[in-house]
Structure 1
Amino acid sequence: MMKCTPAILIALLLITIGFTVTAQTQNSWVRINLLGYKPVSPKVAVWCSKEKNAVTGFSIIDVASGKPVFTGKAGKAYGAYGPFTQTARLNFTAFTKPGRYMIKAGEATSPEFTIGDDVYKGAANFCLRYMRQQRSGFNPFLKDSCHTHDGYTLYGPMPDSTHINVSGGWHDASDYLQYVTTSANATWHLLAAARDFPNAFGDEHLANGLPGKNNQSDVLDEARWGLNWLLKMHPQKDWLFNQIADDRDHHGMRLPKEDSFYGLGFERPVYFCTATPQGFGKYKNRSTGLASTAGKFASAFALGAQLFQDTLLQNRALSAWALGVDKPGVCQTAPGRSPYFYEEDNWTDDMELAGASIAALHAANNKYLAAAQTYAKGETITPWLGTDTARHYQWYPFINIGHYELAKLLTGKERAALIGYYKQGIERVWQKARQNAFYRGVPFIWCSNNLTTSFAIQCYWYRQLSGDATYIELEQACFDWLLGCNPWGTSMVYGLPAGGDTPSDPHSAFSHIGHYPIDGGLVDGPVYGSIYKSLIGITLNEPDEYAAFQSDLVVYHDDYGDYSTNEPTMDGTASLVYLLAAKEIGKPGNFKGTVTHDHGAITRGNTSKKQLALVFTGDEYGDGAAYIARFLQQQNSKASFFFTGRFYRNTANKQVIAQLRKQGNYLGPHSDQHLLYCDWNQRDSLLVTHEQFSNDLANNYKAMAAYGINKKDAAYFLPPYEWYNDSIAAWAKQQQIQLVNYTPGTCSNADYTTPDMKNFRSSAAILDSIINYEQRSLTGLNGFILLVHIGTHPARTDKFYYQLPALLNYLRKRKYTLTTVSNLLQ
């Protein structure tokens, strides 16, 4: 609940002295969606009273004029629900005029609300604030880093306490545990929101979460943050890790920093997926396989590969899938000192989604499509639908996402069967929901708001797939519940809507200790009174402002002490991002991304075209320049060259640079003095100032001007060492320059290595790596920025540029076209 400052309380007290008796004796209320309603959507408020008499009608009052603009009859009396003796639904769907209104029913008046086409605009984007605040590693909200030492391994094939770098990702909730289970699901929802509703999101943040623009929507930046961590948790094809930390985390609230109570300095434990029960104390989980976790990995990676055109993600999707196939069963999170853990008991839904997601990458993946159909039969209806209870995260994700993704790939009876599964599950909930005025059929178990969000999405997907609007009021009722149409009259999303009744004292260290807003966070939601009474360690810290609306059936407290109903969760918020985007936009649109970005730089062009850019960089060495220029001229091919100012000014290079320019190749900047912009191990740590960066780049362009090359003609910039961060990309953007970098996946850039280096690659090995990648990847080298060096240290006598004839011959046989970076990225 939005609480007032002392000054405001005094003012309100003086104003409302004459109304004290009325307020104390209020016995009826009108609950609404505080965020508002679209003109063409279902619009239903709920009247609820502690008296037996039913209301018969209601009026809509225009706030500006104070006059009634619509009258309607109340629906049937639904009788008692929770704390109320009598309830009714007030349906005003027929009223569509945009404006600001209140509803009056009997003696009760609702809060003000809005009807308008753009009433949900920006809401999904708003909830991304909470996701950024939950980041581990570098936290852009705090502008500081945390948990950078993660972590030491447990249960793995390596010795226990082996260090592995898994820093990053999101904190799970108000504690700082991190689970693949929830993080992969959250990542998938963010990716799906970007795919289905790209116009719902802006570009106001860099990839590291700090303010700025990087030509990529903020929802994709957030999804990429999740994917990068998941890659660390699946670092090689036969390794899966499931979680970081355990419930030792719960020893006390604190802002995220370095935790030192796990026994190895600031390192936290990283649990390996073993397909067997785990738990360091007397409590153990009931793990039986890997498929539940492996399937979530695979589906997030596959959708990420599709949107980011990233072959590493594609490969990791396939390796995670293989582990899931090999070891079917559930991989639950590990408990410690307490009996609480994520008790996931289903896994075929995860493998169905994984199979459908991999199949969507390429039409030839018939085996994955067939496997997904088989897995779909393993869980036709999500088991909690229509029941009164379930264990904590027992059926997770809370709906079968795979049915939706698979149905989009199928036709006829196979598609109809999947849609039918959704309908059967919705109908089970509807049989319960239809009996109360709130249309509440979701059980009040832990994270009931997460279940409500997911169920609303299932209703939405069913409507989109089938065209059947039978359950549209039920879908809207679940959405409305989250935003104020509930017994307490409060939104369950911190700060949404602005100025509305929303959580203000959540179970969160950010708000409780740091007094920071946790904008956009979806709290757990109400629980059965019986659950609340049985939980350990709950004490309310303030008088309960919702005391009049608590009941034996269900309770909700806007109080820091209630971790069962008022703790925000990362995965629930990510699901809500998708739902809010769906409500804002309506129908799924088309994802229009054509290039791949990484930390603000373009790293790959459109993968739908069989073309690539061959890129050469140069600073100290230029021994291959004349050979490369002559070869390109003979082949009537063009490439791109990024040179430092030192290279441009070197008199030994002037003739060949002029020749390359005359041949129509692209010539661009590579910094003036080949500076290292940021720390190799802490990428967010800059080693140059904005002024140093700008002056150095200006000098690079000054050297290029001697060849008649100006900034307008060379607006693509490849950074020195091919190493940079979001700040460098933003600084370049301020100068109307676009940062580019090579496409990862091959060893082409290893042509600088010398035989004395541990990472030495022979030219033959480099050529093989390029060819193997092209043959292994579904998208081949489409859109690739393939980087090699124009010269190397004299100690490397095995020069890769002499392999260019073999490389170009292979590419032409495979029907590729060589082009410049400027043409590739148009």
Structure 2
Amino acid sequence: MGCDGWKPVSFTLEKGRTYSVTFDVYSEIAQDLKFQIVDSADKQILIKSVSVQANTTKTFTFENDFEVSDTCQAKWAFQVGGYGTAGETYKIMIDNIKIMHPDLTVTVEKEDPLANMVKNPGFEQGIKNWGIYTMVGGSATFNASSGEGRLNIKNTGTEDYAVQFFQDGMKLYKGNKYKLKFRYKADTERSAEVRIQQNGGTYIGYLDDKSLTFKNDWQTYEKEFTMDYDSDTAARLCFNLGKAGTASDVNQNICFDDFSLVMTQGSLPEEQKANPIRLNQVGYRPDDSKVAFVVSQDRTFKLYTADDKLFMTGNLPVYKADEKGEVLVDEKSGDITRSADFTNFNLEGSFYIKVRADKSPVFKIEPNVYDGLTAGVLKVFYYQRCGGNGITEEYAGEKFAHDPCHTGKAKYYDPTNEIYGSVEIDVSGGWHDAGDYGRYVTPASKAVADLLLTAEHFPAMADLDFGGPDKILAETRYEIEWMLKMQNPITGGVYHKVTTKNHASMTALPEADKDQLYLSPVSAQATADFAAVMAYAYRMYNKIDPAFAQECMVAAKKAWEWLTANPDANAYVDPSFFGTGTYNDGNAKDELFWAAAELFKTTKEEKYLDYLTSYVAGKSNLDNGFGWADMGSYAQVAYLTTESVDKNDELYKKIKQNFIDHAASIIETWKKDGYKVALDDYVWGSNKDLSDRAMILIIANMLEEKHEYKAAVLDQLNYLLGRNAMDISYVTGYGEKAAKHPHHRQSVINEQAVPGMLVGGPNGYIMDVNGDPVAKMVDEKTPPAKCYADVDGSYATNEICIYWNSPLVYILGYLYQK
């Protein structure tokens, strides 16, 4: 066309916005053209070259493509000359030019430190968030009507706390002042105690007022107090309405209304302020993907050394939008996440991310960044040791060392039982299962299997010194030796568990729990799991200690004999005699599947292969899972890694395809999640489920190597170590914001968490759990990934278990091997 084609148009670009450009071009000839944006001084802001074919219309779009450091006036233009034959005329049409920024502004909520902490303060929502607790003879009911909370006390019990009206979740910070205010009355003149207290442990009273006197007319209570103790973000506001002494039948009606608890002086500690930056608080290996998630409206992030030297500045992408243009909110967390990607930064050292004034925890970048964590997570099994010689100061330190515990003989719970009623045996040893002191065969089997898989798949772990008296296989043997004691030597059946009748008090150390131990019934689940573990143990220990390996093999076969002699044994329901963990399981078929697979891998005997073939042929979808109630994936792994199997055999191909399909479904979940979490659902022990899924991906990668398996595994570890909606490392002692208050008796009593424990994590069904304080701290609007609190009273979100740590050991073993 022989002309330059510049037609400038002026407009405003605003600082802090990310702009997109779109336009349509039609040309009668094939040609290239340039689109340019410059500022008022003709300084180039953007230039794009595009190509269009003859007699076609094409739309060009450059999304989220540029931004300016300061608000400025700008001009756009097209350069379209230099094509065709000089003197001739060609048509070029440019239309629908748009320079725009997505209007995706969102509100990032931050905690108001001066707000009323009491939820449903005027009972407008009925009894929501409030609870009543009765014990030692106390009896009462609670309802709400006409905007009042109403209690009817029928018996005052024998202690002042025999009837307790409460709400959990008060946040008190050391040194701050608070004011509690409410209205109250009763149809009976009486006194009571109002407290704001620690919810567990020693129940310290931060506010402890016994002067409350009820009358028939409404009165207003108002009292200011200073939090003189360590900060507590899950304190209980409660009224002790019982009476010390002799239980008394009464008919007392008490009313409450208009509660408020507010901070009157002080501020939120820095560590308690909402931080929009979520990352792996332990750190990253230099060549791994390194991405933090940011919940903020800001546009940039900066990477600093721990001593405040700026090393990198990066852009945060605009919020993702759905097909309607609406901001895409992560379904499970309710957050709108943006990625701070610093993958290409691989210098070693200690660093933090900063977004405006908010600073992340300091993390490390180094090749062996997980070595200390790996040792700590494995050492938890030593800390959980029961019986024996206790655990010593040499390895556990003065705080966590304890004398031998639970060494007395265990009786069968039902002395009238014809087969087992007279049994009284030594079942000392093994690991305490969780925050309590029970020992249970089915979860123990999962934990042992995970550790044996770790030692087998990642041989470097065999020599890891984790700070205990033994290495991984010797520590695992400590549990196997206890399991051998749980088999009845005559029948071959295995008792499901051994515990006291009820859990020990949260103030009782292991050696102080001297109640009688009881054996539960034999179960098909425990017996099949036992058979699988013992067959696996034979392979792992045969070269180390042939005599011990042979003992395991004999026990495995005897357990299988019990299973074949009792084909109708299936569901296990814990007897009502017990008030300890149940580990009920309605189906033992997956456990038998695993037992047959391990026995076949060890012995190569046809009877076990026949069982596998028949079982797999009868199922369209195989049992999946690495959980104590779902052991099917252990069976699949055992068979798929048996050296003698024909990989072209239909049995092998069906099992492998099932395993790979399971991994593919996990990957699909991972891809969709805002925090890259591979969880469909947040249930009790969600962190275990997440770790189990990472195990599936690691093993799938052994079968068929894929980059996305490896990427997803690292993302799950990132989640556990702090890159999550709660901005917390779920592993005690690892990360600046690590969980500090697990539901674990030794940790509670010693006022310090045993390091290396993986806590249960968010539980989207917590509101259905009776007696857990977190149930009163959330509501129906709380996203499942945020149904969690770091409080020691929460057994449904913050307990620890050996079989929650064990899959994390496997994940870390995978990384340690590399």
Instruction: With the length of structure 1 as denominator, give the TM-score of the two structures.
Output: 0.57
- Displacement, 1:419? 3.2
1:745-788 CA-partner distances (Å, limit 9, x unpaired): xxxxxxxxxxxxxxxxxxxxxxxxxxxxxxxxxxxxxxxxxxxx
Query: Which of 531, 534, 556 is equivalent to 1:317?
Result: 556
Indicate conservation of the 8 Å contact 2:678/2:693, yes or no.
Answer: no
Counterpart CA distance in 2 for 1:22 and 1:293 is 50
1:350-385 CA-partner distances (Å, limit 9, x unpaired): 3343333334435x5454345445545667867688
Counterpart CA distance in 2 for 1:177 and 1:487 is 32
User: Larger Cα Rg: Structure 1 or Structure 2?
Assistant: 2
Secondary structure of the corresponding residue to residue 412 of structure 2? strand
Counterpart CA distance in 2 for 1:384 and 1:366 is 24
Q: Which has the higher helix share?
A: 1
**Correspondence for 1:708:** none
1:227-263 CA-partner distances (Å, limit 9, x unpaired): 11111112526332221026622565411126454xx
Q: Structure 1 residues 320 and 107 mapped into 2: Cα distance closer, same or farther (>3 Å)?
A: same
Indicate yes or no: 2:376 matched with 1:126: yes
Query: Which of 183, 188, 198 is equivalent to 2:444?
Result: 183
Alignment of 1:597-746 (within 5 A): none
1:533-565 CA-partner distances (Å, limit 9, x unpaired): 221222379x98x99x96466311111111111
Q: Structure 1 residues 295 and 344 mapped into 2: Cα distance closer, same or farther (>3 Å)?
A: farther
- Displacement, 1:72? 5.4
Query: Which of 461, 464, 473 is equivalent to 1:200?
Result: 461
Alignment of 1:524-563 (within 5 A): 524-528=760-764, 531-539=765-773, 551=783, 554-563=786-795
Query: Which of 489, 493, 510 is equivalent to 2:731?
Result: 493
**Correspondence for 1:74:** 317
Counterpart CA distance in 1 for 2:799 and 2:624 is 22
Alignment of 1:219-258 (within 5 A): 219-236=472-489, 238-239=491-492, 240-245=494-499, 248-249=502-503, 253-257=507-511
**Correspondence for 1:423:** 660
Query: Which of 332, 357, 371 is equivalent to 2:572?
Result: 332
Q: Structure 1 residues 88 and 446 mapped into 2: Cα distance closer, same or farther (>3 Å)?
A: same
Indicate conservation of the 8 Å contact 1:295/1:353, yes or no.
Answer: yes
Counterpart CA distance in 1 for 2:617 and 2:376 is 37
Query: Which of 143, 147, 161 is equivalent to 2:406?
Result: 147
- Displacement, 1:445? 0.9
- Displacement, 1:411? 4.6
Structure 1 counterpart of 2:447, one-letter code: A
1:377-400 CA-partner distances (Å, limit 9, x unpaired): 667867688xxxxxx968434x61
1:716-760 CA-partner distances (Å, limit 9, x unpaired): xxxxxxxxxxxxxxxxxxxxxxxxxxxxxxxxxxxxxxxxxxxxx
Query: Which of 519, 522, 525 is equivalent to 1:270?
Result: 519
Structure 2 counterpart of 1:149, one-letter code: G
Structure 2 counterpart of 1:74, one-letter code: P
Indicate yes or no: 2:780 matched with 1:584: no
**Correspondence for 1:507:** 743
Indicate yes or no: 2:635 matched with 1:402: yes
- Displacement, 1:34? 1.3
Structure 1 segments unaligned to the other structure (5+ residues):
14-18, 212-216, 262-266, 276-286, 386-391, 587-826
Indicate conservation of the 8 Å contact 1:348/1:376, yes or no.
Answer: no
1:104-160 CA-partner distances (Å, limit 9, x unpaired): 456644222222211111322212332112111122143411111130124665452
Indicate conservation of the 8 Å contact 1:299/1:353, yes or no.
Answer: no
**Correspondence for 2:806:** 574
Query: Which of 40, 47, 50 is equivalent to 2:294?
Result: 47
Counterpart CA distance in 2 for 1:23 and 1:313 is 54
**Correspondence for 2:186:** none
Structure 2 segments unaligned to the other structure (5+ residues):
1-171, 177-226, 232-265, 321-327, 393-400
Counterpart CA distance in 2 for 1:416 and 1:503 is 43
**Correspondence for 2:284:** 37
Counterpart CA distance in 1 for 2:338 and 2:299 is 9
Secondary structure of the corresponding residue to residue 471 of structure 1? helix
**Correspondence for 2:701:** 463
Q: Which has the higher strand share?
A: 2
Counterpart CA distance in 2 for 1:416 and 1:564 is 39
Secondary structure of the corresponding residue to residue 358 of structure 1? helix
Supply the RMSD in Å over aligned alpha carbons: 4.0
- Displacement, 1:204? 5.5
Indicate yes or no: 2:307 matched with 1:87: no
Structure 1 counterpart of 2:361, one-letter code: P
**Correspondence for 1:165:** 426
Q: Structure 1 residues 472 and 306 mapped into 2: Cα distance closer, same or farther (>3 Å)?
A: same
After the TM superposition, which of the residue ranges 332-341 and 510-519 deviates more from structure 2? Answer: 332-341
- Displacement, 1:487? 1.0
Q: Structure 1 residues 383 and 469 mapped into 2: Cα distance closer, same or farther (>3 Å)?
A: same
Q: Structure 1 residues 125 and 235 mapped into 2: Cα distance closer, same or farther (>3 Å)?
A: farther
**Correspondence for 1:341:** 582
Counterpart CA distance in 1 for 2:272 and 2:482 is 54
- Displacement, 1:301? 5.3
Query: Which of 197, 200, 218 is equivalent to 2:471?
Result: 218
Counterpart CA distance in 2 for 1:85 and 1:517 is 29
Indicate conservation of the 8 Å contact 1:539/1:561, yes or no.
Answer: yes
Counterpart CA distance in 1 for 2:756 and 2:622 is 28
Counterpart CA distance in 2 for 1:304 and 1:379 is 34
Indicate conservation of the 8 Å contact 1:305/1:313, yes or no.
Answer: no
- Displacement, 1:576? 1.7
Indicate conservation of the 8 Å contact 2:596/2:611, yes or no.
Answer: yes
Indicate conservation of the 8 Å contact 1:356/1:406, yes or no.
Answer: yes
Indicate conservation of the 8 Å contact 2:353/2:359, yes or no.
Answer: yes
1:403-428 CA-partner distances (Å, limit 9, x unpaired): 22221224534544333222322333
**Correspondence for 1:621:** none
Indicate conservation of the 8 Å contact 2:743/2:795, yes or no.
Answer: yes
Counterpart CA distance in 2 for 1:354 and 1:121 is 33
Structure 1 counterpart of 2:292, one-letter code: A
Structure 2 counterpart of 1:168, one-letter code: G
Q: Structure 1 residues 114 and 273 mapped into 2: Cα distance closer, same or farther (>3 Å)?
A: same
Structure 1 counterpart of 2:755, one-letter code: D
Q: Structure 1 residues 245 and 90 mapped into 2: Cα distance closer, same or farther (>3 Å)?
A: same
**Correspondence for 1:564:** 796
After the TM superposition, which of the residue ranges 154-163 and 30-39 deviates more from structure 2? Answer: 154-163
Secondary structure of the corresponding residue to residue 520 of structure 2? strand
- Displacement, 1:486? 0.9
Alignment of 1:743-754 (within 5 A): none
Indicate conservation of the 8 Å contact 1:299/1:317, yes or no.
Answer: no
Counterpart CA distance in 1 for 2:334 and 2:812 is 29
Counterpart CA distance in 2 for 1:370 and 1:489 is 50
Secondary structure of the corresponding residue to residue 434 of structure 1? helix
1:669-704 CA-partner distances (Å, limit 9, x unpaired): xxxxxxxxxxxxxxxxxxxxxxxxxxxxxxxxxxxx
Indicate conservation of the 8 Å contact 1:505/1:558, yes or no.
Answer: yes
Structure 1 counterpart of 2:391, one-letter code: P
1:617-646 CA-partner distances (Å, limit 9, x unpaired): xxxxxxxxxxxxxxxxxxxxxxxxxxxxxx
